Structure formats: C-alpha cells, structure tokens
Structure 1
Amino acid sequence: MMSWRIHLSLLVVLVQVSVLAAWTDPYDFAALRSLKDIWDNVPPNWSGADPCGDGWSGISCINNRVVSITLASINLSGQLSSDIAKLAELQTLDLSYNEGMTGPLPSAIGNFPKLTSLILVGCGFSGQIPPSIGSLQQLVYLSLNSNKFVGEIPPTIGNLSNLYWLDLADNKLSGKIPVSDGSTPGLDMLVKTKHFHFGNNQLSGEIPPNLFSSKLTLIHLLLENNQLTGSIPSTLGFVQTLEVVRLDRNSLIGPVPRNLNNLTSVQELFLANNRLAGPLPNLTGMNSLNYVDLSNNSFAATEIPPWFSSLQSLTSLIMENTHIQGQLPVALFSLFQLQTVALKNNRINGTLNIGSNYSNQLQLIDLQNNSIQGFTLQAGYSVQIILVDNPICNGGSTQSFCSIPRQSNSSYSTPAENCTPLSCTSNKISSPSCKCAYPYMGTLFFRAPSFSNYRNSSIFASLEQALMVTFRSHSMPVDSVSLSNPTKNLDDYLYVTLQIFPSGQDYFNHTGISEIGFMLSNQTFKPPPAFGPFFFIGNSYPYFSGGTERSNKSSNTGIIIGAAVGGTVLVLLLLLAGFYAFRQKKRAETEAKKSDPFASWDPNTNSGGVPQLKGARCFSYEELKRSTNNFSETNEIGSGGYGKVYRGILSNGQLVAIKRAQQGSMQGGLEFKTEIELLSRVHHKNVVSLVGFCFEHGEQMLVYEYIANGTLKDSLSGRSGIRLDWMRRLRIALGAARGVQYLHDLANPPIIHRDIKSNNILLDERLNAKVADFGLSKPLGESERGHVTTQVKGTMGYLDPEYYMTQQLTEKSDVYSFGVLLLELLTSRSPIEKGKYIVREVKQAMDMTKDMYNLQAFLDPIVASGMSSRSIEKFVDLSLRCVQESGINRPTMSEVVKEIERIMEIAGLNPNAESASTSATYEEESKGLNHPYSNESMFAYSGGYLPPKLEPK
C-alpha cells in the first residue's frame, strides 16, 4: 500500500512538472493574444492558452519562451503594435509578403535585446523608420524593402555593429545618406555589413566620401534610381571587397574616379543615366567584370578604349550615347562569354567585322545611329545585328540588319520531367512532375544579373536546381519548382515567375508556407552567382486546407500511467493535471488583463477602471458602424499612419469625423484611456472637440467634431481652393494662438501640444482656426510646470532646437513651432523646402532698414499685396521672437495672442470680430480635400537625427 502511494505521489509530481514545462510563459502568451486580437487571418490553430505547447503555426519556442514569429504570405492584415515588444526572448520576426500589414513601425520595435532578424519584405508598412531600430544590437538581417516608408534613413542604424544585410530598397525614403560625425552615428560604421540595398527611393544630396573606407567589407552597393547628386567619391575605390556597384539613374556629375579600376572583384558595374562627364573611365584590370553599363552620360569624345577587348569575363557591354568613336576591334567579339554589345547613338565608324571566331554566346550587336559604312558578312552568322541609321543602311537597303526586329520576350518555362502535363481543375496547376496541386507563387527579382541572354534554358535550369537543393536540404515539403516568363524591367532587374509545388498533398499548410517564405526572405536560398543579389515577393496563399492544422505531438502518458497504477489512478492524475492546467490558464489570462485597463469596465456601471470623462461619451461599435454605413469607402475622408478617418452621422443628426485605428497601430489600453481622459477635458472654440470614443471588439476609435474646410496646410498650398488673404491669415493666426494659449494656461492639467504645424490647424466653415491632433501631446503635472525631460518628438522643420538638444520640454517649445507656423502664413512655403530652412532663410534675407524688411521675394504675393506693410513687419518681428534659439527669450502664448491682436488693429481689423460668414464667401470652393484628421505626419520625429538645416548651433 505504501509503495502504491509513493508511486502515485511521484507520478503526480511528474505530471505537474510535465504540465508546467508545456505552458507558454504567461507574458509571451499575453503578447501573442494581443497580436491575435488585432490581426486578421491568423492561422486557424491559433487557439488555446499555450502557443508553445499547442504548436501555433509560425511560432517557435525554446524553454516555453517565444523566439520566432514567421508568418509569410498568409494574407495577414493589421498593424504592428507595441505589445509585440513584450516578447523579450524574440530572435526572429518575419511578416513578409502580407500587403495587409500596414501602418508605422512602433518605436517599441527597438526593445528586443535578442532580435537577430527583422524581415518585413513586401508589406504595406508606412511612416518613418523609427530611430529606436538602432537599439537592436544583435541584429544581423534588416530587410524593410518593398514597403511605403518615408523620411530619412535613421543614422542610428550605424550602431548595429553585427549587421550583415541591410535592405531598405523600394520605399520612399528621402534625405541624405547618414554618416557619422563624432557625435552621431552613421552607415560608415557598419564595417561588418555586406549589403547596402537602397535602390528605388528618393535619397538626395551627395554620396558622402566618408561613407567608404578600406574597413568596409561591402560586396553589394545598390543606390540605383534615387536623386543623388554630386560626384562619385574617390573613396569608393578603397572598398575592394565590392562585387556589385549600382549608381545608375541618379543625377551624378563630374568625372568617374581614376581609382575605380582598383575594384578588381566587381562583376556588375552600372553607372548609366547620370550626368557624368570627363574622360571615359579606364576599366583596365577589372578582370571579374561581367556586365558594364555606362550609357547616357556626358563623357568627353574618346576613341574606342583598349579595355573593350581585354575584359575576359565580359558578357554585356552597354554604352549607349557615351560619345565613343572609331572602329570596333574584331577581338571584342571573340571574348569567350560575350552575349550583348549595345553601343547605339555614338560615333562608331569604319567597317563592322565580327570575325570568324566570335563568341558562341553572342546574341545581339546593337549599333543604331552610328557612322558605320560597311559590314564584313560571315556566312551563316546567327547574331542579331542592328545597323539602322548608319550610312550602310541609307538608300533603302533591304538587308536584315537595316531594320529593327520585333521585340519578343523569352517564353521560357520549366519543362515537364519526362511526363505528360495534366489538365487540372479547381485552380490547380500541373507541376513539372505532372501532378495537379495548388502552388505557392511569387516573383524573384534579380537586381544585377551578370548575363543578358534570357533565352538560355540551361541558366534557368541551374536556378531551379539550386532552389530544389535548398528546399530538400532543409526538409521543406516541396515536390518541384517551376520558373517562367523571365523579363527585364526598366530598372534593369530580371524578374522571373516562381511556382513552388507541395509534396505529399495538393496544398501547403500554414507552417509550410511560412517556412518557405522565410527561406526566401532571409536569404537562406543562395542563387547561382550569375544571378547576383535578389529579393522575392510572394503572393498570398489562398489554398490552405481550411481546417485546423493537426499537431504532430503524441503522448504515451496514458499508456504509462495505465500500466503503472491502472485506470483509477489515471483518472485521478488527469483530474489533477486538468486542475493545474486551469490554474495556469487563469494565470495567463490575469497577466494578459494587466495590459487591458478596460477589461473589467462596463460603460453602464461605475465599476473600477472607468475613464474619468468630461463631456465625451462612449460609443458602441455597432453605433459607429451604422453612422458610417459599415465604414464604407464612400464615407472614407482621410487616412494616415494612425488609420482611416470616416465621416459619420450620429443618431441625433450630428456630423462627426471618426478616426479608426488600424489593427496594429493601437496604443496600449492604459495609454488609450489616458488620452481620451485628457481630450475630454479640452473645451475651447479654437480647439477641436472630442465627441467620444469606442473601445470594444478590438477597436480604438476617436470621434471628433467634423471640421468642414480641412487643414491650413491645404489652403496655403492651394489644394483646398480657398484663397487666404492677409486679413484671413491674421484671423487664423489669432485663433490658433488662442487655442494653444488655452492648452498652456487654462487646460487642466496644462498641455504642451508638441506638434504645432499647419497640418494640425483646421479651418471650420467660417475659417475659424482650431488646433487638432493631440497624438504627441504631453500633459504637465504639478511638479513639471517648469519643464519635463522626455523623448524628443515633433515634426521636422517645426521642432524646437533647444528641446532637441536638452530633451527638456517646455511650453516655449510650442512657441517655437508656432513661430515657424507664422512664417508659413507669411510665405505659404513649407518649413523645409528644397533643403532650405525657412527660419534661417528669412533671418539671412531681412533688412530692417527697407520696406517690409526686404522680404518681398519670400512673401506670398497675396500677403505682399496687403494694405498694411507695417502690420506685416510687426508680424515678422513676432515670428522671429518666437523662434529665438533660447526659450527664455521667446514670448509666452498669452503674449503672442496680445501681439497678434495689436497687429490686427494696425491692419484696421477688429480682433474680436467673427471670420467669414460661410465658406460660400470664398473665391473658390474647397475641393479634393484630404481630411484634417488624416494624421499624415510625413516627417513626424521621435528622437535621433536632425537634418543639417535644423541642427542647433
């Protein structure tokens, strides 16, 4: 009997330990449940309270801690919320190929101490790349390409000392390439990084010379299709590890550095479509060079250079419109690997002779619009030769080389493997192994292939083989792959359609798709060297089984227990295990509720956690759904990083604007509660009113009064069609000033707006100004009335330099921003325009001894034609007092209000009179508005680098 009790006790302990080991860390579970609640189309087996033990698709765990999330191509949608930062052990995050993943990256993305791979390829993310990304000290792969990111490359990326792969291509990034200057980091510090992929953005300025040094180990430098200016720095020649250099499609000028031919490992060199001048570069010694394109530059006229015939690895010589002249040497065409010679629009003359030993890979010789007078025909030559617009073709020659052949794309497609393709139904496709299945599809993009013959089936066969070797070596459920339709686009990228067919069944499950997508997104697959750098964009996979994936786990526990103590003891142990599991589940739910302050809140009671609201009301999801006709597109009036804005009509007939957070951009519940409590206390005719909010069904919505005439920015830029004369601008300035003064002096608690700008000043139907958008606002407690030390946030151009330098936020920071707004009212110019900062430009140009301070060239013509130059001068004086470098020298907002009132009196206006009666009094009606609540802060700033034009002295 005693032995039975001992065995029972041991087994109970064993079961408890086993159950404990199987349970996911409660904090990790709470984070995943939060993501599940705001994401649509998560895998169907994301259920239960144990993601690690239940094997949630795309989730990998070690010791019950989540270490990897890989969810590629599953049609996931939503946003990336800051809740994900609670996964403290996360090492890999890959959400690639889900276009529905949108919105900005939260600054909390920098809070992963162990993250090595951040891969978000081919999604819909937007906004700025947060500077906090530079805190990911273990990061090896950073792939944010093919999204909608804007703003500058964060200099803090230079702190990522372990980074191997940096891909920011195919976004809308702008500004200069950041380099270190002793006080701020830069990309020159990335000495371990092998890949700089920045193509197809809007980067501008010169390529910094100190970006390059002999310390770098770069192999791929891709800067194509940007707006870069200046010359190619000679320091590029120091990076002798380079294999691919793409600087084409920019506005680069000057001569090519003489030491470029030090780059003897370069295989692809693209310098085309710039404004490069000087002598044709000497590429002698670059014996690894396969593909060279120097077309459409302004090189000085030069004879055919000797290196044409000396580059033994050359496959493609592309030099259109480069002013070369003379006769082409026969030796050029005998280069063993030569495939394409494209030299049209030059001054090549004499007789074309390709010799009898020309390369058997040679496909095309395009010499249109040159001065060739003869052609030495070779019997049976198979090369496509084009001599249109040469003397040899004048006079109506009917030779085949005197006409332009019809373009034809390669029709290559993977052949069947010694079998007969099937006729499939239900959207299935016959695979190369002749099986009907639902393939995973996408496109492979090769950014710098070393070949130009896309009809060569053997080279694509090698790519297919490499893909299958990779999939099989990693035990992927892949039966076969198919490639088709290789095409070259305007960026000189080669793209190929890829189909991947499942093994063992006719569809992939979620795990299979995520694993295959991750293998292609994180560069585990290495294509043959001829294909060069690549990226993959996968399609969403719609052919999952539709059922919950089955776990592969099995358990022998029942057999063991049954054999040991019989059925009675088994029942007892199962009851104990169930009780323990219930306790663990309650524990996980408790931890999850800690991040949800509304979890126990019933809006119809006075129970704990109820927000303390003054004037705002809680709307149900169904009520707002009805008011917007189910959030229809016809009622959508704006969008931005926060989400979308809808026009709604409440049951009482009130017109409202409903700002609906996209799934993933949501704040934590506590932060949302704090914000609505703050906004509900703000009541002033020059501040946009919060009508209410909704916090249910996983939604965060703010309901504002509807403002008819959009943003001040729209009117100043002319987009709204509203004409703002000097009188109206003064009234708008006064209204905005009174709104900000209210926030500083009368709100309880006082509020620093932190984002005063023309996009956040709205105009109602009478052109009354209203301050809007409190997303960055900071309420001040009693102990913070002097200043509060906080992370720098704001908008480029309006940001207070003193706040930036000290991180000490005061009410005078809003005054600085308001001063910039006043200069914007005077000039109708953006604060930063074509690299010039309005504050600096006005200070440098003004002359107080002249009429209107000699600023007529800066003033909007509507303002310059105003009746009172004295009022304009006083307005300039006030603006410049507001933008004093030291906050102590700036006026308070109450002083600003009084001064604007005096300026209006000088101009003959009554400061207390109403604005225009209705919008019908405007000269043109407003049209085509982006709604004021769209929150399109294209240059919203939350810490890090300021552009040179804004750096405080």
Structure 2
Amino acid sequence: MSSEPISGNHRIILFLLPFLCLIVHSYSQSDQLQILLKFKSTLQNSKSEVFNTWHGENLICNFTGIVCNSDNLVKEINLSEQQLAGTLPFDSICSLKSLEKISLGSNNLYGTVSSHISNCTNLQYLDLGINSFSGELPDLSSLIQLKFLNLNLSGFSGSFPWKSIENHTNLTFLSLGDNPFDRTPFPLEILNFRQLYSLYLTNCSIEGRIPEEIGNLNLLESLEISDNYLVGEIPVGITKLTKLRMLELYNNQLSGIIPVGIRNLVNLAEFDVSTNNLEGDLSELRNLTRMESLQLFENNFSGTIPEEFGEFKFLTQFSIYDNKFTGELPAKIGSWADFEYIDVSQNFLTGPIPPDMCKMGKMQKLLMLENNFTGGLPETYASCLSLLRLRVSNNSLSGRVPDGIWSLPNLGMIDLAINQFEGQVAPTIGQAKSLSQLFLANNRFSGEVPAEISNVSSLVEIELISNQFSGEIPSGIGNLKKLSKLHLQDNIFSGAIPESLGSCVSLNEIILAGNSFSGQIPATLGSLPTLNSLNLSGNKLSGLIPASLSKLKLSLIDVSNNMLMGPVPQGLLIVAYNGSFAGNPGLCADGNKDLRQCSPVPKKSDQLKVAVYCFIAGALLLVLSLSCFVFLKFRQHDHKDPIYRSHSWDVKKFHVLNISEDEILKSLKQENIIGKGGSGNVYKVVLGGGEQLAVKHMWKFVPESGGRSSAAILPKGKSRWPEYEAEVAALSSLRHMNVVKLYCSISSEDSNLLVYEYMPNGNLWDQLHTYQKIEMDWNVRYEIALGAARGLEYLHHACDRPVIHRDVKSSNILLDEEMKPKIADFGLAKIVQTGKAMNSTHVIAGTHGYIAPEYGYTYNVTEKSDIYSFGVVLMELVTGKKPVEPEFGENRDIVYWVHNEMRTKDDVTALVDPSITKDAKEEAVKMLSIAGHCTMKIPALRPSMRMVVKMLEEIEPNSLTDIVIDKMGENVISQCKS
C-alpha cells in the first residue's frame, strides 16, 4: 500500500486545525450568548428568578432552562411555568440553528409571533400554550420536523394556517384548543398526521361533520374536539381507534346514536359526549370495563343503565343527568374504585339508592334529584366524611334520615325536598361546620328545630317549607351572620319571633307565613340592611307594626291575617300590594282605600273647636318661625349650624384642584340631583371658576345595601359603610384616562362626600337602553369598548395591587363630552393583598345579569368575574339589548341567548343592533365573538383583560384608521404652513 508524503502546506493546516476549531467554537459561543441575553432583555419585567444564572460569567449551557448538544450548541429552551412576561424575539431565537425545542407554555407572554419563526427549521417541539399572544399565526410550513405543537389557550385569533402544516406528517402531539380562531370546516389536513397520539381541538370554532377518515389516525390515544359547532352523527370510523383512552366530543350539536362498534374501544377510560342531541341506549358501552369517567348528561338517551356498569372497577365519575333513562341503577355501581361523584338527576329512574358508592370514602357528590327513587337514605352514607353535596330532592324517598347525615363535616348542601322523609332533625347538625344550604321543604319532618343549628355559622339558606315542625325558632339564630334566606312557612311553629333574628345581618328573605307565631313583630327586623322580602302572614301576631320596618328597602311585605293593630307605617304603604295588611281589623291608615281611617272625620258640632285649635296652633307656629328666623339671621355670620362648620369636615385631596367644601355643601340641593342609587344621591356642582364636578353624598350610617338605618353615628373617621371606604381606597391612587378621577373625599361625623370629575354624557346604560339614548355609530361603540377594556386592564395588571371591580356593568361606565368611557363606582371593589389569595364571600356582589356563574357555587372573587361582566357589556354594545329581556326566555339572560344564537344560526349578523350600519356588522360580530370568550362558563377559559384589549385592538374598524391618517395629514399640513 503506497502513500504520498505530506507536504509542508498540509502540515501547517493540520497544525492550525485545532486552533481554527477553537476560534469557530468561541465565535459560536459568543453569538449564542448575545442571542440569549437579548431574549432575556425582552422579558426583563418578569417576577421570576429563573434568569439569575443568565450572565456572561457563566457558560450558556449552565443557564437555567438551557440544554446544549454535544457541540455545546443550544438545543433546548425550557422555561414553561416561570411567570415570564413580554414579547418573543423570534428573529434572534431562530438564529440558534441547532435549536430543536422551545417550551414556554404557562407564562404571560404577549404580542404577535413574527414570521421569523419560520427560520427555526430544526424545531421539533414548540409549546406556547396558556399565554396572552394576539393576532394570527404566521406560515409554519418550514417547520417540517415538528413533532410536538402546543398552542392551547395562547390567545391567537383569525384563521389558523392549516395549509401550512398539511405536510407535517411527523406530528405526534397537536393542541390548538381554547383560542378565538375564525370558524372553519373540520380541517382535513389533520387526516395526514398518521403519527398523532394526542389531538386537542376543543373550543377553536370548528364546524361541520367529523369525517369518517378520522379512523385512519389509528395511533390516537386522546381525541378532544369538544365545544365546537360540529353536527351530524358520530362517525363509525372512530370505532377503529382502538388505542383511545380519552374521547371528548361534548358541547356540540351531534345527533344520532352512539355508533355500533364503539365496544371495540376497550382501552377507553374517559368518554364525554355531554350536551349534544344524541339518543338511543347505552348497550354499546356495557363492555368498556376500563371506564373511569362517563359523561353523558344533557342529551336524549333512553333505556336502562346496563347492569355491567356495576362491575366497572375503575369508574370514579358518572354523570347522566337530563336524559330519559328508566329502570334501576345497578346496585354495585361505584363500589369498586375511589368513586368521586354521581349525577343522575332529571331522568325517570326508579328503585333504591345504591348503598356502596362511598365504600372507599372518597365520594364528594351524590346528586339524584328529580327521579322516582324509593326507599330511604342508606345508613352507609352517614359515615361518608368526604361528601360535599347531597341532593335527592323531588323523588319518592321516605323513612328517617340517618343521624350521621346531619353532622357530616364537609357537607355544604343537604337537599331532601319534595319527598316523604319523616322524623326530626338531629341535634348533631350543630357539628356540620361546612353546611351552607339546608333544603327540607315538602316532607313530613316534625319536632322542634334543634337549638344546635345556631352553631352552624356557615348557613346561608334554610328552607323548611310545608312540614310539621313545631315549637319556637331557636333564640340563638342571631349567630347565623351569613344567613340570607329563612323560609319556614306552612309548619306548626309557635311562640314569639326571636329578637335575635335582627342580628342576622345578611338576611334577604324572611318567610314565616302559615304558622302560629304570636307576640309582637320584633322592631330589630328594621335594622336588617339587605332585607328585601318579609312575609309574616297567617300567624297570631299582635300589637303595632314597628315603625323601624319603614327603613327597609322591601320589594314585598305581607302581614295579612294576624291580629295586628294601630296605624300602618307610611313607608310600608308604598311597597304593599292590595292584600298586604288584610285580615287585621285593628290596622288603620289615613288615605288608604283598603284600610280604615285612623283619624275619624270630625262632626259639624266639633268643627268650631277644631277651627279655634287650628288658629291657636297657627299663631304659635308663626311666632316660633319668626323667632327662628331672627335667631338664624343673628348667627348667620358665625356658621354655627353643624353642616356648615368647616372645622367639622375632613378633606383629603387626591388631585390638584381648588375646591372649597363650603361651595360644594351649598350646591347639594334637590334641583342639582343628577342620579340616585343604592349608595346615595349624586349632585352636579359648578364651582365659581366654572369647573363642573359630580358629588356623591353618602350618610355614614347607611348599611352596605344602601338602605336606611337608625344606627348610632360612630366617631369621626370610623365609617360604618364599607362601600365608602372601598371606593376611596380603590380610587385614591388610580391614575388612568379610562378610570373616573376622584378629586377628593370630604368626611364629617355623619356624612361622606366623594368629589369626582363630571361626565356630561351620563352612563352607557342610559345611552343604550333609556329614553335618553342617542344614536351611536359603530366607531363610537368600538371606542367605548376598547377604552373600558383598557381601564379594566389597568386595574387588573398595572396597579401595584390588582383591583377587582366586582360590579362591572354599563351603568358604571361613564361617558365624557367626547363619549370617551371611564370606569366608575368602586363601592364593591376589592384590592388584592400581596401574597394572599383573593377574597371570597357568601354575599353575592354585583348586579343581576352581569354576575359570573361561578358565584353560584364558589363565591370566589377573581379578575375572571370582572371579565365575565365586561363580556356582558360587549354584548349590550353589539346587540343593543339589556342583559335580561323577556325574549331570552324564562330564567335566561343575554349570555345564554348570544351563545345559543351564535351556535345555531347561520347568519350571526342578525344579532347585531339594527341601528349599526351594514358595512360594520362583520366587525360587530367579531366583537361578539370576543364577548363569547369573556363569558365562558369555566373561568380559566376566559382571557385576561390584557388579552381582551389585544383582541379588541385586532378588530379596529378601518374607518378609525382612516380618521387617524386624516388627522396625521392635517397635522403635517398645519406644521408646513407654520
């Protein structure tokens, strides 16, 4: 074997080669360092400490979250769930040519994704899910090596670029759900991804039919395409996906039966086809023994529950409510695994309640209302310590309730209404420390309500209607500070209504009708700040009606058929209906046609005496008036009257303005009132210098509901009205063009004034829904929506401590002279304490029609509740309708109506206010889509306010852009002339 001698040049090259490699390597390291430091600089507002290791003195491969390959080139960026905020510089990131993985999910990244992402040609793994991006996704066709793509809940909108990924046949994981994409037919490009094991397309506006060919994706283990606009039958092709563990198709418009052959999916553990129009029986599911979660509710299924379900040894969740099932439940159902809940409500099921569903001690919810179950409550549930909700109302159950049921420590609701239960409520109920709702109406319960119930401080509602309870109401009931409803009508209660009931400060409804209560009506009821309905009819009450009841803001009062006497307080006559005081012969009222007169008409023989008395009284009154006039004149210069004494007012200024409290006080006249609400009157005040202000006047002793009270005035600075303090705390430090400006607060011993900037165009509610409304074109409506969103974004994201408004509604969006919006009325606001969980309350704050659904079961106060309410405002702006209208149907609101119409109607533009011009209707529909995302039932699916602002900015009307350009042109011309 021959070889040529190595030349001198070659020797030099071989000698220099290691040094050349070192230079190239050093250059590469320097480039990578600069790229990563630029990446870090775009996220400098992050609260995370993840970048502590990212500095020039450290090797880049030792940076937290960075993984390098064997050549020390960056291979992976792993920074998910690191509280990162900011935009992504894909122009530099994609210069890392060896980059195969970007994992940035579950942060707060925002902005658009630039087309430079197409330079990441070696990328195999991309996770941008659960962020706040905006705009459309760019072309992804060059990312041909992608195996993992997660964009779930990332904020992207517009049309998803399906064509650009049709050749990405290496994809094994694809998640695009929970984004406000444009509606699109089922993307057939998916059928090319034969390597997929997980596909998540829930809530991303897919419509039409599921193609039969989906059965060709035979490696799928998880298929989720719920909450879309899918129609037609479930394709038989799905039965070929034998590796499936999860199949979720809920909240669509699917019809037909469960396809024959689905029994082949023997690995299926989670099956959810709830909220569709499916029918037929469940025979195809009887052999799916690995089932863990079975959700079939809100369909038209019928037939019996297969007996085999009782042998499912992994089943933990079973929900089939609102169907047409008949027959009995399998006796062993839920007895094998750590069973969590069952909901079979609103069917036609019969037979006994299966006894062993809490056998493993993990069951949380037993929901079986509105069926035909018989027998009693099995004794086994008396030891089910994990139970949170027990609802078996409207069945044919009977017998005694096991004593242990009453004292279960975690049970929040006991609903046994409309059955034939009998016996007594056990004294052990005093140990039920979590119980908030007790519904026992329409049964055969008897005996006294145990005194121990007063120890259950968590109680919010008590309904014992139509039973055989007797004895007195426990005297300690005043301990129940959260109690809002007390319904005891149609029993055999007797004795006096306890005075302590006036200490239940959250009471909204008291109904004690149809009993044998005696004695007087407690005057303490007049101090209940939120009482709205009082029904004491059909008892044996006597004496006078307390004058204190006039202070309540009642919508209903009924004290008919008692033994009351004396004059009816004038304030109650205003809210009474015709029969409110009937059946009380001793009652009287002057000027009321339904009651006898209190003052008899004088006889002619007495008229002279009356005239003499009147003359004497008039003369005395005249003398007294003259004396008072002289006295006041004499002391006028001293201003000794308390309301004018300047030294009795405490002024706190938050903005620079020359304000005199005397000038404001003198303007608080009836003719200057521009608004009235639960918090107090609002006056328009014009200062001597011409400044216009709005002044809200509140009395300190007014309770939280805004009702009147006779409570004693507290010392200076110790207001008894939390709304005043909340509003001052929330507004005093806020500075934003879309939040109403609070100039100052003025406080005295008995009164509070809040001085705001004046908004000449009133509020959005009046402009949309009342006789004061004006024609608002789409540009004005859009600007109001965007401005209000920016105000809320500021409250949620820009304040040192986030502010949750809790009463976002159109009447709390004020409009200035240019129709620019400002968020107002912070009386219910909550300021989130640093490092603490957000507050929760058992008193629902907010206004009907705007209240988020989670209030009904969690009472949680979060920024997501504000976002729901703002979504309702967007719906008002687009449709012109109020949050609650008769046309929506009984117990329905605008959210239900809009979601339903958008799901079922082909022409969504029909929802838009007819006064909006035709060329703007498409833009209005886009805003309606944003409103739909804001009002999702699940709070986590709602966007942040930052994301809402971004989405609204994306749909800016073209005419607004033209206006901006025109103004820019005018400015240029004027500058040239000058």
Higher relative contact order structure (alpha carbons within 8 Å, sequence separation ≥ 6): 1
TM-score (norm 2): 0.39
Larger Rg: 2
